[in-house]
Structures are given as C-alpha cells and as structure tokens.
Amino acid sequence: MRDMLDKCWTLTEEDIAALEIGSGILGTGGGGNPYTGKLRLREVLRAGHKPRVLPLEAVADDAKVVPIGGIGAPLVSFERLKEGREGLRCLRSLEERLGFKADAMACEEIGGQNSMEPLVTGALAGLPVVDGDGMGRAFPEMQMTTYCIYGHQSTPSVMCDPHGNAVAFEHAITEKWHERMARACVIAQGGASVLASAPMSGAFVKKYSIPHTYTQAIRLGRRVIAAQAANEDPIAAICASEGGKHVFSGKISDLKRYFERGFNTGVATIAGLDGDRGSQGEITIQNEFLVFRRDGEMEVCVPDLVVVLDLDSGLPLGTELLRYGQRIAVLALPCHELLRTPQALEVIGPAAFGFEDLIYRPMAEAE
C-alpha cells in the first residue's frame, strides 16, 4: 500500500484552521465542537506526527479502511476534553481482535470535531485518512452513514473512553441495534467516547463515500477566512461556494435544550430581523439542526443541511453554543445525491426522526 502513501497530502496548521470552520458549517450544529478538535489535531501535528489525506480515487480496491468517529452529545464532548488516544486504542483493539492491519482510516461524518478524530488517530497510527466521509454533514445516529445505508456491517466494533475503558460489540443484528447498544454504553462512559467500526474494502469506500469532503471543508473554511480578511460577506461566500440559500436572519428569543438518551435535544425560537422582521423561525435539534420552520411552516429539513451562523462574523455555531439573544443567520445547503435516494431517505429522511408529517423535497426541486 506504499503507493497510497505517496499520493497523500499532509495538513498544515492553516489547513486545520480552515477545517475547523468548514467542518463546523457542514456539521449543521453537531459532530462535536470543532474548536477543541482543532486544538487536539494541532498538538498532534506539532508533536511531529503527520495528519495525511488520501485522495479518494487513490484508494486501492483491496485496502482495509477503518471508519472511526466520536459518539455522544456535543455538549459533553465540548465540556469534557478527550484523553487523546481513544481512537488509537479503538483501532489497535479492533486490529488485534480481527487479526488484520488497517491501511487507512475513514471519516464517519465530516461535521464538527468528528472531521478531526480520524486525522488524530491516523496521524498517531501512521495511516492516511480517505478524502470523503459517510454523511457529508453530521447526523445524530451511527446507522445514518452511507456506509451502513448501502450495506456495510459495522460490527465487530470497539468503543473507548478517556478513562481507558474499551468495549467490544461482537455482533449487532441490524445497524440500528448497534446504535442502541453503543448509545447505552456511551451514557455509562460519561456521554462522549470514540468508536471504530469493522473495516471496509477500498472498493466499497470509493463507491459509497460522500466524495472529497475534506477538500470541501477546507476550501469552505478558506473562503470564509478570505471574505473576513477582505471585509466581504462570509455568509454570501458560503452560499456561493455550496449552492446554498440564506433563509432567515433573527435573534434567539427562546431556547429549550436538554440532554436525554445520549443526545442534545431541544428547540430554538428565533425572532426575525432585517427582511425577516415580523416572522418567527424555529429550529428543531437532536445533536444537529434537523428542521427549520418559518411561522410554523417547514422550509428546510434533513437530509439537506440546516446551518446556523453568527450573523455578524459568519462563523458556524454548534447546538451547544446557542444562547438567548444571539443574532444568527440560518442557511440551507443541499445534501449529496447519495443521501437523497429512497434507500437513504428511509434512514435519514424526516420520518426517521419522528417527523411523519413532513415530506422531504430536495432544495433544487423546491425552488
């Protein structure tokens, strides 16, 4: 697999700073706080390790690629720092248990801190991370990846916490059962852990990853940084970059947020400002921003991305950072086509989150 390493590119501190912003935007409020992820990855880089990204098309068909990511609630992962080697312990335990050596890491979700987790583990293990992920955004449950949707069996898997505990899941009869068991375990471990799933073949990864999402996130972050430096509108830059739409501007007038069943849940109510004055927005939360309604009518819902930005700086806000009185912009970004198939919508469409009355219409069709 030496050829794969020769085709990688190594992240710089500037790349990591851009990734923090881009992954925060694509995280739709979840995926863990990217700022703490940036700090961890930067320290790994400064310690002499190399966080490397492998172009998707350069992955060998017979490569063994291990998907990895954090599991838990964003609020917990923000307040409780990781020990740092949870992912590496997951990887080594999985390799020993199954008798193989990984060739590369895969990102479960590009959103938030979970964009950094594979890079930290890969750098410590000397392995590259594939330029793609299983969501193109963030979702609250593990079965909501394109890997699982299109046939990957994610067990056996291993979960590790900051205390040194490791739990192996030998077999789950469905991906939903894997999520249920892992969610119960992460609650016992304190609400935020890391999980590595069974390896995928390189051929499968190339077919079913959301492609080039590390490149996308870093490009997106750079465009925001450039807009700020030029005193231009970063919100407009984001929409232009991603084919998105600025759907609402307002001030948070009420915020209900809970930690339950291992998730951050709640509702943010927004009083309209500027051209939206007189209207009321509402965002439903389950780790991520799932549905945006204007005056009671749904305008954007999963799997398209509901993104919340600081109205003045254009920087992304996670669900754990929302506060009463904040001035925010709500954006809608289109999801990748792999998330819009009937097979995918059964798992990540509005009905999968309990919104039986909502019918998903892709952004391009709704305009």
322-353 residue pLDDT tens: 999 999 999 999 999 999 999 999 999 999 99
Q: What is the value of pTM for the model shown?
A: 0.94
Higher pLDDT among residues 168 and 30, named by residue: 168
**Checking DSSP bridges between strand 288-294 and strand 305-310, what pairing results, if any?**
unpaired
Residue 35's closest CA among 73, 69, 77?
77
The rounded mean pLDDT for the chain is 94
Q: How many CB atoms lie within 10 A of CB 203?
A: 14
Q: Write the pLDDT tens digit of every residue in 199-226.
A: 999 999 999 999 999 999 999 999 999 9
Mean pLDDT of the 64-81 span: 82
Structure confidence at residue 1 (pLDDT): 64
Q: Write the pLDDT tens digit of every residue in 253-283.
A: 999 987 676 677 899 999 999 999 999 999 9
Structure confidence at residue 264 (pLDDT): 73
Helices (H), the chain: 2-6, 13-26, 34-46, 74-79, 86-98, 117-125, 146-149, 175-188, 202-208, 213-229, 234-242, 342-348, 363-366
pLDDT bracket for residue 77 (50, 70, 90): low
In whole angstroms, how far apart are CA 216 and each of 15, 57, 66, 260?
A: 12, 15, 21, 32
For residue 26, is pLDDT > 80? Answer: yes
